[in-house]
Structure 1
C-alpha cells in the first residue's frame, strides 16, 4: 500500500537526524554525514522482474539456492531491501516483494533508481570499472545519485586488453606499465580478484614466466579461432 502523506520526491536521504536508542540529551536522534560506498557497481538499466531481482539478491547472499521454504527476499540482504527501500518509494516497510517491484515499475526504472540512490545517504561512490553491460556508467550514476563518483580500475580486464595487442612477454610487460600509468591519471584506485597477498613483490623472473604462460593460454588460442 502506498503512503498517502508523502510524495516519493519529498523523501530525503537519511543524512539528517535518525533514530538512536539511549538516555540523555538528544536521545533518539543522531546526525549522519554522507556515506562513502567503497565498492560500487552501476545500477541495473531497465525493469526487473521478481526472478531477475532474486538473481541479484542471490549474488549478494553468495549462495546458489535459497533454503527450502524461503526465497532470497528472506535472506539478510532481502530483508534489508524490504525494510529500507519501500519507504523511499512511498510504501510501507516489509511490503510484499511483488508490490515493491510493481511500485518500481510504476515509477519507472530511472526515477526509482534516483529515489533509492539519493535516499541511501551515500555521497561518494568508488565505482569499479570494466563491469558487465547493462549497468549505468559513472556519469549516469553520479547524476542519478546526485553524488560524486570515483573510478576504481579492475586489473584483470586491463591486462586482457593489453594482452590482445602484445605478441611477446616484453611487449606485454611494457604495455602493461604504460596502461597502468595512463589509468592512474584518472583512477582513484586499482582492484583485483586475489583474496590474499603477502605484500611482497614477486621476483622479476617469476613475473616473466607467469606472463609467458598466461599469454600462451589466452592470446594464442584466441588468435587461432
Structure 2
C-alpha cells in the first residue's frame, strides 16, 4: 500500500511539471484530409500505399488512444471516426485542446520547415497562453540570403549579417547538416577562400533552379562555425528522421571532432532525438561539458514502447545533460503525445527505481523536473518559470 501511494505521489509530481519543449515546430494552421494527416504521422516522404494505413503504427495507435478523449471521444475509435470528429471541431479548437492538454509551460519553436503551413511562435503563444520563443535554422538563413541575390564573394559577410539580425531575439540555433550531408565532414572551420569558392558553385546551381538547398559540406561547416560564433545554443538533428537523412551518417559519434574543437567556446551543443544512437549521445553528454541531448522524436514514434527509449536515455548521461522535447510538427496530436508519453515513461521508469529502493522519491521528482524543464531553462537562459 505504501509503495502504491509513493507511485501515485510521483505520478502527480511528474504531471505537475510545466514542461519546456525545447525543440518543437508549430501546429497546423488549417484542416487536413485523411491522406494529409496520415502523411504527417510518419517520417516517410512517400505516398501512403493503398493497402495500408499509418494509423496501424505505434504513433497511430497512440493518437487513437490518448488524443481521442481530449477531442471528446472514447479511447480507440476507428480512424474515420476520429478524423470526422477532428474536422467537426476545426483546426482552431483541436489546437486549443491538444496544445493546452500537454501541460507545456514554454515552447522553443523551430520555424525552418514548411513554416507557411504551421503556427509561428506568436500564434503558438496565443493559442496556449504560454511563452513561445524561436529557434532559427542556419540553413534557412543561408537559403534566404541566396534567394535575395548575393555574389559569391559577398556571401560570407551577407550570411553573418543576416544570421545576427535573424537571431536577434532567438533562444537558439539549429542545423540540419545530418540531412544535407551527414556528420562525416571536416570538423574545422573553412577558410574564406574555400567558402567563396563553394558559394560560387552553389549560387550558380541556384540560378539554374527555382530553389537549391544548401548541401555543400564546405558551406555547411561555415554555417555551423558562424553559429558557434553567434554564441547561442546550437541544436543538431541526429539519428532518426525522414528518408532524406542517411542514418548511417547521422550517428552523433561522428561529431566528436567538431565537439572537441568547439569545446573551448563553451557554446551548448544539443543533440536532438538521436534514436537509435541515443546511447551514443549519452556517452557524448557524459564526456563533454557542453553536450546535451534528448530523445524527442523517438518518444512519439515508439508509442507504447517509448518507456524503453526513455529508460535507455537515463543510462550513462548525467541527468543535468538530458532535455525534453516533442519535435512535434503539424498535427497538434504530436505536441500532446510528446508530453503525455514522456510523462508516462518517466513515471514508469522512475517509479521502478523507487520501488526497487535504488532511488528515493525525492530524487526521482528532482530528476524528472530537471529533465522536463530546469535543464532547458538553464541551457537556453529562460529564467524561472512564471
TM-score of the pair, normalised by structure 1? 0.77
Does residue 173 in structure 1 map to residue 156 in structure 2?
A: yes
Alignment of 1:62-211 (within 5 A): 62=44, 64=46, 70-132=52-114, 133-195=116-178, 196=183, 199-211=187-199
When the two structures are aligned, how many residues end up with a matched partner? 199
Deviation at 1:117, TM superposition (A): 0.5
Report SS of the residue matched to 1:72.
Answer: coil
Question: Is contact 1:48–1:101 with CA below 8 Å preserved after alignment?
Answer: no
**Kindly tell me: are residues 63 and 166 of structure 1, through their superposed partners in 2, closer, same or farther at Cα, counting changes over 3 Å?**
closer
**Kindly tell me: are residues 49 and 65 of structure 1, through their superposed partners in 2, closer, same or farther at Cα, counting changes over 3 Å?**
closer
Gap runs ≥5 in structure 2: 211-386
Report the Cα distance in structure 2 between the residues aligned to 1:68 and 1:105, rounded to whole angstroms: 22
Report SS of the residue matched to 2:3.
Answer: coil
Question: Is contact 1:169–1:211 with CA below 8 Å preserved after alignment?
Answer: yes
Deviation at 1:119, TM superposition (A): 0.6
Cα RMSD (Å) = 2.5
Report SS of the residue matched to 1:101.
Answer: helix
Deviation at 1:199, TM superposition (A): 4.5
Deviation at 1:178, TM superposition (A): 0.6
Deviation at 1:72, TM superposition (A): 0.5
Report the Cα distance in structure 2 between the residues aligned to 1:28 and 1:74, rounded to whole angstroms: 32
Gap runs ≥5 in structure 1: 1-21
TM-score of the pair, normalised by structure 2? 0.47
Q: Larger Cα Rg: Structure 1 or Structure 2?
A: 1
Q: Which has the higher helix share?
A: 2
Determine the structure 2 residue equivalent to 1:214: 202
Deviation at 1:164, TM superposition (A): 3.1
Report SS of the residue matched to 2:197.
Answer: helix
Question: Is contact 2:31–2:87 with CA below 8 Å preserved after alignment?
Answer: yes
